[in-house]
Amino acid sequence: MGFLVDSREGSGRDGQSSRIGFKALIRRKQVDSAHSSSSSSSSSSRQHQLARELSISHLISIGVGATIGAGVYILVGTVAREHSGPALAISFLIAGIAAALSAFCYAELSSRCPSAGSAYHYAYICVGEGVAWLVGWALILEYTLGGSAVARGISPNLALMFGGNDRLPSFLARQTLPGLDIVVDPCAAILVLIVTALLCKGIKESIAAQAIVTAANICAMMFVIVAGSYLGFKTGWVGYRLPTGYFPYGVDGMLAGSATVFFAYIGFDAVASTAEEVKNPQRDLPLGIASSLSLCCALYMLVSIVIVGLVPYYEMDPDTPISSAFAQNGMQWAAYVVSAGAVTALCSTLLGSILPQPRILMAMARDGLLPSFFSDVSKNTQVPVKSTIASGVGAAILAFFMDVSELAGMVSVGTLLAFTTVAVSVLILRYIPPNEVPLPLSLQEPFDPLSLPCQMSADDIHEKSSEINSPKDSAKPLLDKVDSSIDIPTIGSCLARYGCTLNEKRRRKIAGWSILSTCVGALILTCAASNLSLPSYVRYSVCGIGVMLLLSALVVLSCIDQDDARHNFGHAGGFTCPFVPLLPIVCILINIYLLINLGVDTWARVSIWLAIGVIVYAVYGRTHSCLHDVIYVPTGHAEKVNKYSREVLA
């Protein structure tokens, strides 16, 4: 991808090598800029345009609704009994901070690249087509299984509200198919189809419905907080007056609880999937992500503080901790409020699970990796109706026939893989942003390849252009004289004080190897730390290697200058992730650790799905990609090429 290839030589050996094999996996698409978005007037782009209807309040509703599920009504009891004890609120706080690291990365990329596709879109721009395909394929699995699992959890909670499963209407109650030993759930399938129909009607209408359901869920949680606080002050907060202290399982138990409740924060990434439908993405997307995550963290902590204080942690019911806590204090009727809150939480999470998937499918189809059927957008509702129907029908079939509770761990793989890729993309954007632009086949004919050096890499051309425009001598050594005024004490600024700076091509190469070292070091460290079967000396030695790779990458990235091109990458003027490179590196380490500890069974199932994805990509996506027949030109020359093409075609 780093070489310019003449389209007339595309049938030769060099042209083939740029389109197949490894180079097909690392080809990257062009980021949408404000200029390119405003100047785009082709009929195909207008045909696939989504409606820009969402504001900050809508994004907060999406984020909170997709994040706060019924799990919080159960999770507080399980984690308090087995890990955290009275320190449950601190576990939620630490998990919220860990989730905020990924949220910061999402906020920057979503404001710079406000198009549908979320992590898949960012990976395609920053990392490459191969990683982007795996991320998108994993997200399809996540949203399908997540929606089905949530739908299957609604009917038991409805049954509790009606007084038992036998009280539900027969067409909604779960039934066992004779001779097949399969428990079907008509209620789950019906709810998925209702949500699918709502999403097809329009983004504004579906978000309005989700806002109502989410508000009902928040009201139920506020009831738990207010009524529980009243009971706590009345009884003297007996849950905190224990001889075991505030950390009965120690700090390790509290941290283990944080790793468990981390998955309660999964869902804020649904906000990024609607980036193309936001009125002011540069302002609203970061605020929507931050506000929804902060609100969820506050509600989680308040609920956990109240419930742990009402009942000693070792007496909590692991299945119905909140209802049983109120029942032990004489408020049996509160179980109906809690059940209603669980049902509304599941309904809002169901909508939040199905909402992003059609947009992932649409983004992948736009790029040619999936059939164009999925990229069609309705002219009336301006939503991807075909993708929505396909996603809804698939989730409804799974929810009707399969008990997907055993497959719930597979949902986390897609999320954590996306979180990791987004953090890596932030490092790439800051230090080695793409400096080449793919030139489509339609521009290869009017474009004269002799106007640019065809056998030079983009880095060489960029360096050559800098030399031509410089008033100094064109023969630059590795260390060249510059006038620099940088406040951050980096290697570049220190050298500049002595009149020297690193060559740009060398700087990008060092940064690239450092980012790779970050990923490899995090993988080595987490694998060794999680494998308790290794001998101690082997385990500690391997962990030391991983720590050395991570620290060396952190030091190098902290010392070298970030690329100046990052300021003009995508839509400028949006949110900027703080504490780079430390924050993305810590984010990568946390997410890889959680990925490694998902279990062998989970990874065995996910590997089958990913293997199917590799086959689909090799058979269809690789050859139908929009980047299959392109040449890459330096970013600085792209506008000249486009201008020249318009003049010729005119």
Q: Are 574 and 288 in contact (CB under 8 A)?
A: no
Residue 524 is predicted with a pLDDT of 96
Q: pLDDT confidence of 633, banded at 50, 70, 90? A: confident
Burial 465-492 (b: 16+ CB within 10 A, else e): eeeeeeeeeeeeeeebeeeeeeeeebbb
pTM here is 0.86
Residue 646 is predicted with a pLDDT of 61
- Domain assignment present for 456: no
Residue 315 CB contacts under 8 Å (≥ 6 apart), including other chains: 328
Q: DSSP letters along 199-230, please?
A: HHH-HHHHHHHHHHHHHHHHHHHHHHHHHHHH
Q: pLDDT confidence of 484, banded at 50, 70, 90? A: very low
- Domain assignment present for 407: yes
**Range scoring the smallest mean pLDDT among 303-307, 442-446, 584-588:** 442-446
Cα 88 to chain centroid, rounded: 26
Mean pLDDT over 599-612 rounds to 91
Residue 24 is predicted with a pLDDT of 79
Residue 303's Cβ-side half-sphere holds a number of Cα atoms within 13 Å equal to: 29
What distance in Å separates the CA atoms of residue 4 and residue 502, rounded to the nearest whole number?
25
Residue 532 is predicted with a pLDDT of 85
pLDDT at 472 over 70: no
Q: pLDDT confidence of 455, banded at 50, 70, 90? A: very low
What distance in Å separates the CA atoms of residue 615 and residue 51, rounded to the nearest whole number?
34
Residues 499-550: pLDDT tens digits?
455 688 899 999 999 999 999 999 999 999 998 888 989 999 999 999 999 9
Mean pLDDT over 459-473 rounds to 47
What distance in Å separates the CA atoms of residue 165 and residue 397, rounded to the nearest whole number?
22
- Domain assignment present for 569: no
Mean pLDDT over 235-252 rounds to 91
| 176: phi then psi, degrees, rounded to nearest 5 | -100, 125
What distance in Å separates the CA atoms of residue 411 and residue 149, rounded to the nearest whole number?
10
Q: pLDDT higher for 599 or 641?
A: 599
- Domain assignment present for 488: no
| Own/partner long-range contacts of 212-218 (Cβ < 8 Å, ≥24 apart) | 213/65, 213/344, 213/347, 213/348, 213/351, 214/61, 214/64, 214/65, 214/68, 214/344, 214/348, 216/340, 216/341, 216/344, 217/65, 217/68, 217/341, 217/344, 217/345, 217/348, 218/64, 218/68, 218/299
Q: Which of 434, 391, 383 is nearest to 568 (CA)?
A: 434
Tokens describing residue 622: 């690789």
pLDDT at 3 over 80: no
Q: Are 354 and 143 in contact (CB under 8 A)?
A: yes
Q: At what angle do helices 119-126 and 356-366 cross, to 10 degrees?
A: 30
| Structural domain count, the chain | 1
Residues 92-109: pLDDT tens digits?
999 999 999 999 999 999
Q: Which of 160, 136, 105 is nearest to 428 (CA)?
A: 105
Percent above pLDDT 70 for the chain: 81
- In what helix (H) or strand (E) does residue 176 lie, and over which residues does it extend? strand 175-177
| 153: phi then psi, degrees, rounded to nearest 5 | -85, -5
**What one-character DSSP code corresponds to residue 450?**
G
Residue 183 is predicted with a pLDDT of 84
- Domain assignment present for 2: no
Residue 404 is predicted with a pLDDT of 67
Residue 32 is predicted with a pLDDT of 73
Query: What stretches of 311-384 show up as alpha helix (H) in DSSP?
Result: 321-328, 334-354, 356-366
In 510-647, beta strands by DSSP E: 631-634
Q: DSSP letters along 584-610, please?
A: HHHHHHHHHHHHHTT-HHHHHHHHHHH
Tokens describing residue 149: 């699992």
Question: In terms of C-beta density within 10 A (0-12 exposed, 13-18 middle, 19 or more buried), how is residue 464 classed?
Answer: middle
Q: Are 42 and 147 in contact (CB under 8 A)?
A: no
- Domain assignment present for 397: yes
Q: pLDDT confidence of 42, banded at 50, 70, 90? A: very low
Q: pLDDT higher for 575 or 461?
A: 575
What distance in Å separates the CA atoms of residue 118 and residue 360, rounded to the nearest whole number?
7
Residue 251, domain CATH: 1.20.1740.10
- Domain assignment present for 26: no
Q: pLDDT higher for 325 or 464?
A: 325
Tokens describing residue 361: 């499918």
Mean pLDDT over 179-186 rounds to 83
Residue 181 is predicted with a pLDDT of 78
pLDDT at 643 over 80: no
Q: pLDDT higher for 94 or 460?
A: 94
Residue 333 CB contacts under 8 Å (≥ 6 apart), including other chains: none
Q: pLDDT confidence of 405, banded at 50, 70, 90? A: low
Q: pLDDT confidence of 44, banded at 50, 70, 90? A: very low
**Range scoring the smallest mean pLDDT among 100-114, 124-138, 292-306, 449-463:** 449-463
Residue 501 is predicted with a pLDDT of 56
Mean pLDDT over 587-610 rounds to 92
Average pLDDT, the chain: 83
What distance in Å separates the CA atoms of residue 181 and residue 166, rounded to the nearest whole number?
19
**What Rg, from alpha-carbon coordinates, does the chain have?**
27
What distance in Å separates the CA atoms of residue 85 and residue 240, rounded to the nearest whole number?
9
* Cα-Cα end-to-end distance for the chain: 30
Q: pLDDT confidence of 642, banded at 50, 70, 90? A: low
Residue 490 is predicted with a pLDDT of 53
Q: Are 310 and 238 in contact (CB under 8 A)?
A: yes
What distance in Å separates the CA atoms of residue 643 and residue 438, rounded to the nearest whole number?
15
Residue 432 is predicted with a pLDDT of 94
pLDDT at 171 over 90: no
Beta bridge partners of 501: 480
Residue 274 is predicted with a pLDDT of 92
Residue 467 is predicted with a pLDDT of 46
Residue 481 is predicted with a pLDDT of 42
- Domain assignment present for 333: yes
Q: Which domain holds residue 366?
A: 56-433
Residues 45-71: pLDDT tens digits?
445 678 889 999 999 999 999 999 877
